[in-house]
Structure 1
Amino acid sequence: MTAVTIKDVAQRAGVSPATVSRVLSGNPATSAESRQQVEEAVRALDFRPNAQARALRSTRSDTVGLLVSDVRNPFFADLAHTIEQGLLELGYVTLLGNANENREQQDRYLDTLISRRVDGVIVAPQGGDSASIDALLTRDVPTVFVDRTIPGVDVPSVTTDSGPGIRAAVRHLAELGHVRVGYIAGPQSVSTGRERLESWTSAVAESGLSDDPALVHLGDFQSASGSEGVHALFSLDEPPTAILAADSLMAVGAIAMLHRLDLRIGEDVAVVAFDDVEWFSLLDPALTVIAHSVDEMGRRAVELLQEVIAGRRPDSVTLPSELVVRASSSSPVPTPSRPLGRN
């Protein structure tokens, strides 16, 4: 089927192609009669303007790039949905990219978004030293960071203050009588991984919990490292009696490994996760979490980008975190399980 062109619309409407172009671009220099004729012809022919051609003739593409860290992570899936819906209400189509917690993959997507002439970009950056991040800023592409930041890069951002939630979780576990608490940390190459580990270290020192460095396992915000963390922690001569995973996907991996080791959550070991995924409250036992509003983060990111596109320089936003206590951490301190492979 041959694509309908502006000339086809002009012929049906009985006007010139230039008139059709003015009507479609919203130019007021057309008569009401001409606008009506063109609009009727557009509907009759089901004409759809070529978005790429329009972008070449204007400074707008009506598209925004969104790059999340890992689409499999429930937190980022919810964040992407909130941002995409918010942008759609403003008339933007979202081009979604998945960095897969990998800087090279991030840069490949960002280079593509730049070449597509998107009107702006919302990105959860994978750390510094990115030529593609530099290219965004050099080309003055309106950019907002979400969830993560890069030190020294002055871009409006929406992030979470992890400190209050982590301190509350540590106090909660200490008050239950736990002393050895394992922490499955995120990658230290990204801001959230570093900030949460710093908050954890400070909170442990304040609470009097064991500061044994073997109780910290460095993960990568993916489920496999959550499983690896639990395996490593419960291979210690003196395993922990509680676990805190620094994000939802590592918590999923940690829970899977605890089940494989026949360790009962809330009885043999207390578990706390950072991020409140909807179905965490439906587990048996329901999971204690450090919560922050993914919907609010998404809405504020869209608002910031709208301001940047309009040429303004909005202030960054920091959202709070809080502890939500559920059954996975409400039991008394259990008897420490024996190390793996020991009799």
Structure 2
Amino acid sequence: MTRLKDVAAAAGVSPSVASRVLNADVDARVNAETRKRVLEAAARLNYVPDHRARALRLSRSGAVGLVVPEVNNAIFASLYAGVQETCQAQGSAVLLGQLNAQSGGRNGLASLVGNGRVDGVILQRAEGVSDDSLGQLIELSIPVVLFNSRLDGHIGSVALDDHRAVAIALEHLASLGHRDVGFIAGADQHDAAARRLEGFTASIAALGMRTRSEWIQPGGWEAPQGAAAMRRLLAADERPTAVVAASTNAAVGALSAALAGGVTVPVELSLICVQDAWVAEYTTPAISAVAMPMHAAGGIAARMLLDHLGGTALEDVVVAQPRPVLHERGSTAPVAD
């Protein structure tokens, strides 16, 4: 097994210099040529850092936790990839955990990340978790960065540009001639859902489009809620020509309900969603979506947490770049004459 002193000898530096380079010590005064020599020697010798020894020296675990409501949800795959990529570059491991409203609340989170397992947590708020419950949930002895959620009194969050994403969806529908548009909202009590609804009402007005109260249906993030919301929407005396769903999974349920109800998509009804995942490409028709920068946002959240562990302050940021991107597919078409 290759040791640190072997890498140092091969690079012609002291073990302490080699350690600073391999641990990505940003305060170390090591010139670029020396740094390159150490990294090349480590790669050539297949050196694997001893994270246990490093953690003991720093009184840290050497890992961060990423906790999401559902680990099997395709939406979180790129989030995990962004967190993992950034943490790996800084020599930290990522422990993935699941926590939803049925998982035991604060005690459930403590059991996932407690006893020194991780140095900090990136937490995606679950559906059905109120502000009060979220506040109790994150009362931990380690720092917590909220992902696409904010909470009064808590500093440390990375939010997506939900307003812009919904505006892009509506601009796409407007370009196809749609003026009467419905909305399947996200999870109740979730601030990201509230932002998407705010973005919908603001953009409807700005674009000169029309909606009605019965066309704005409460829903949730998952397919069953999306299907139920679509059934209620289609029961209205007058129907919109297009619908925006607040999430991919809800859109899948909405599409299923529309087709089951004899509504042809997109001939009779266009459908587009906020967020994107592989499942949206494999429905019939494939669902148009506004993709959010989950990978980049995961990296930003991880960097914020790691920097904080190094001494910088947490902050609340909205990911402005990269911007949400429209993926036009078969579920949207020009409004029928």
Q: TM-score range by the shorter chain?
A: 0.7 to 0.9
Q: CA shift at 1:166, angstroms?
A: 1.4
The one-letter code matched in structure 1 to 2:208 is G
The one-letter code matched in structure 2 to 1:217 is Q
Q: 2:139: which partner in 1? A: 135
Q: CA shift at 1:241, angstroms?
A: 1.6
Q: CA shift at 1:97, angstroms?
A: 2.0
Aligned 8 A contact 1:273 1:290 in 2: yes
- Give me the whole-angstrom Cα distance separating, in 1, the residues matched to 2:242 and 2:121: 39
* Counterpart check, 1:254 vs 2:265: no
Aligned 8 A contact 1:266 1:327 in 2: no
Q: What aligned pairs does 1:11-26 form with structure 2 within 5 A after superposition? A: none
CA distance 1:171–1:188, shift in 2 (3 Å): same
Q: 2:267: which partner in 1? A: 267
* Counterpart check, 1:277 vs 2:271: no
Report the secondary structure of 1:312's partner residue: coil
Q: CA shift at 1:146, angstroms?
A: 1.4
Report the secondary structure of 1:129's partner residue: helix
Q: 1:46: which partner in 2? A: none
- Give me the whole-angstrom Cα distance separating, in 1, the residues matched to 2:82 and 2:136: 25
* Counterpart check, 1:332 vs 2:331: no
Report the secondary structure of 1:303's partner residue: helix
TM-score (norm: length of structure 2): 0.74
Aligned 8 A contact 1:226 1:250 in 2: yes
- Give me the whole-angstrom Cα distance separating, in 1, the residues matched to 2:165 and 2:325: 5
Q: 1:44: which partner in 2? A: none
Q: 1:110: which partner in 2? A: 109
Deviations 1:277-324 (A, max 9, x none): 245345554432122211101111111111011111154332244351
Q: 2:65: which partner in 1? A: 65
- Give me the whole-angstrom Cα distance separating, in 2, the residues matched to 1:313 and 1:133: 21
Q: 2:187: which partner in 1? A: 187
Deviations 1:240-280 (A, max 9, x none): 22111101121121122223224332222111110122453
Q: 1:5: which partner in 2? A: none
Report the secondary structure of 1:307's partner residue: helix
Aligned 8 A contact 1:146 1:158 in 2: yes
Deviations 1:40-83 (A, max 9, x none): xxxxxxxxx996x9978962122222111333432123312432
Q: CA shift at 1:171, angstroms?
A: 2.9
- Give me the whole-angstrom Cα distance separating, in 1, the residues matched to 2:59 and 2:333: 59
In structure 1, stretches of 5+ residues that fail to align are: 1-25, 27-48, 336-343
Q: What aligned pairs does 1:315-326 form with structure 2 within 5 A after superposition? A: 315-320=315-320, 321-324=323-326, 326=328
Larger radius of gyration: 1
- Give me the whole-angstrom Cα distance separating, in 1, the residues matched to 2:258 and 2:119: 46
Aligned 8 A contact 1:173 1:329 in 2: no
TM-score (norm: length of structure 1): 0.73
The one-letter code matched in structure 2 to 1:201 is T
Q: 2:291: which partner in 1? A: 291
Q: CA shift at 1:114, angstroms?
A: 4.8
* Counterpart check, 1:197 vs 2:197: yes
Q: 2:84: which partner in 1? A: 84
Report the secondary structure of 1:297's partner residue: helix
Q: 1:42: which partner in 2? A: none
Identity over aligned pairs, percent: 29
- Give me the whole-angstrom Cα distance separating, in 2, the residues matched to 1:148 and 1:248: 18
- Give me the whole-angstrom Cα distance separating, in 1, the residues matched to 2:324 and 2:92: 33
CA distance 1:106–1:84, shift in 2 (3 Å): farther
- Give me the whole-angstrom Cα distance separating, in 2, the residues matched to 1:327 and 1:54: 49
Aligned 8 A contact 2:105 2:137 in 1: no
- Give me the whole-angstrom Cα distance separating, in 2, the residues matched to 1:134 and 1:89: 26
- Give me the whole-angstrom Cα distance separating, in 2, the residues matched to 1:308 and 1:57: 18
Q: CA shift at 1:206, angstroms?
A: 2.1
- Give me the whole-angstrom Cα distance separating, in 1, the residues matched to 2:256 and 2:105: 28
